[in-house]
Homo-oligomer: A and B are copies of this chain.
Amino acid sequence: MHEIYTASSSAPVNIAVLKYWGKRDTNLNLPTNSSISVTLSQKDLRTLTTVNSSRNFEKDSLYLNGVSHSIENDRTTNCLEQLRSLRQQLEEDDPNLPKLSQWKLHIISENNFPTAAGLASSAAGFAAMVAAISKLYELPQDASELSRIARKGSGSACRSMFGGYVAWEMGEKLDGTDSKAVQIAPPEHWPNMKAAICIVSDLKKDVSSTSGMQTTVQTSELFQYRVNQVVPPRYSQMVDAIKNRDFETFGTLTMKDSNSFHATCLDSYPPIFYLTDTSKKIIKLIHTLNDAIGKVVAAYTFDAGPNAVIYYESENEEVVLGVLFGVLSNVDGWNEMNSATLKVPEGVPLSSLDSTIASGVSRVILTQVGEGPKESDMFLVAP
C-alpha cells in the first residue's frame, strides 16, 4: 500500500508599520524590538504550500515556484524539527496515529505574485509551510504558538500567522518562548485599510536583510537609541491608533518609523541603502498629497528594498490613487475602473507630479488588509 498524507495551506504577506530590524539572538531569530504589521489580502499576495508525507519518501524535499531547493538550511531545519517533535508528542499519546513524525516530507510552494517583484516572500513562505504541516500533523497548537515556530524560519513570518493587525512581541526570555505574534485586531475591526504597492526597479539590490540587520546592530550608534528609546513608546501609540482606527496617528507613525529604520541602515558601517531616488520621489509625493489635503490620508513604508507600500483608507481612495495614477498611469496594475475615474485631486500642484517616477516603477499592486493562513483545497504537485 502506498499511503500518502497531504495538506494544503495558504498564508499572506505582511508589511510592517513598526519595523523589525536587528536580532538579539541570530540562532533563535529573537528581535531587538517588538514590531507591528498589517496582513495583506491573499487574493493579491499569498504563498500556497502543499505538504505530503509518506513512509516511502526517501528524503525531505522542497519546491519553490517550480524549482527544487535544498532543505539543508538551519532556518527550514529548525522549523521542521520543532513541528515533528510536536507531532511526536501526539503520536506518543495516541499509538493509533500514523507515525508521520518519522516520515519524510515533500513540500511544494508557490507564490501568486512575481518573485522578481522583490516583495519579501519568505514571511508568507514560512507561514504557509508551518500552517500546512501543522494541519497535516493535526497539531492542537494555536496560531500564536505556531508563530514561534514560523519565527525560526524567518522572523517576520511569525506575523503572517494572523490576519488583520498583528504585533510581534519581542519577549524577554533567552529561549525565545515568549517571542511570538499576537493579533491586535482582526481585519474586520478596520476593514477599510487599503494598500497600494509600487514595485520599484532596482538593478543591484543592496545587502540582504539577514546580513544587513546584523551590520546595523553591530555598527550603528543611532540604532541602539532607536531600539531602546524610540520604538517602545511608538509601539504603544501604534497599538492605540489601530484600536481607535486613528489613521492620522497610524499613518504618521508608519512614515516616521520607516524613515527611522532606513536612517539606522544609513548609519551602519559600511552604510546600507535600500531607498533609491525613485523611492524618495514617492515619499515626497505622499507628503505633497497629505499637505494638499491638510491631513494624513496616505502613509508610505519601505522594507529592506526600494518598493513603496502606501497605506490609506478606502474613503480616501480617490485622492490617493488619483495622485499615484497622475504619475504612474503608464505602468501595469491599474484596473479598468481605476483608469476610467482617477484624476489628480485638487490642491495638489501639478509641478509636484514628477513624471520621472514612472521610469523607476514597474507596476502597482492594489490590495488591502486581509485574513491569516487558510486551509486550501488546492493541492500543488511537484513538477
Contact = CB atoms under 8 A, between A and B. Distances in A.
Contacts of A180: none
A343 interface: no
A263 B266 CA distance: 6
Contacts of A267: 222, 259-260, 263
Q: Which of A252, A263, A287 has the most chain B CB atoms inside 10 A of its CB?
A: A263
Interface string A217-251: 00011100110011000000000000000000000
A262 B284 CA distance: 17
Query: A-side binding surface: helix, strand, loop or mixed?
Result: helix
A78 B259 CA distance: 37
A370 to B, nearest CB: 29
Contact of A277 (B229, B259, B276): B276
A191 interface: no
Residue in A230, A264, A266 whose Cβ sees the most chain B Cβ within 10 Å: A266
A283 interface: yes
A271 interface: yes
A255 interface: yes
Interface in A250-287: 252, 255-256, 259-260, 262-264, 266-271, 273, 276-277, 280, 283-284, 287
Nearest to A203: B356
Contacts of A276: 277
Interface residues of A, number: 28
Contact of A263 (B256, B264, B277): B264
A255 B269 contact: yes
Interface in A35-89: none
A269 B263 contact: no
A235 to B, nearest CB: 14
Interface string A128-157: 000000000000000000000000000000
A283 B263 contact: no
Contacts of A266: 259, 262-263, 266
Contact of A260 (B221, B226, B252, B260): B221
Contacts of A273: 280
A244 to B, nearest CB: 21
Contacts of A284: 270
Contact of A225 (B225, B268, B270, B287): B225
Nearest to A286: B270
A129 to B, nearest CB: 35
Nearest to A255: B269
A229 B222 CA distance: 9
Given A222-B230, A222-B267, 14 more contacts: A221-B229, A221-B260, A222-B222, A222-B225, A222-B260, A222-B264, A225-B225, A252-B269, A259-B268, A260-B267, A263-B264, A263-B266, A271-B283, A277-B277
20 contacts: A220-B263, A221-B226, A221-B229, A222-B222, A222-B260, A222-B263, A222-B267, A225-B225, A225-B229, A252-B269, A259-B268, A259-B269, A260-B267, A263-B263, A263-B266, A270-B283, A270-B284, A270-B287, A271-B283, A273-B280
The 7 tightest CB contacts between A and B, nearest first, are: A263-B267, A225-B225, A263-B263, A263-B266, A270-B287, A222-B222, A259-B271
Interface of A: 220-222, 225-226, 229-230, 252, 255-256, 259-260, 262-264, 266-271, 273, 276-277, 280, 283-284, 287
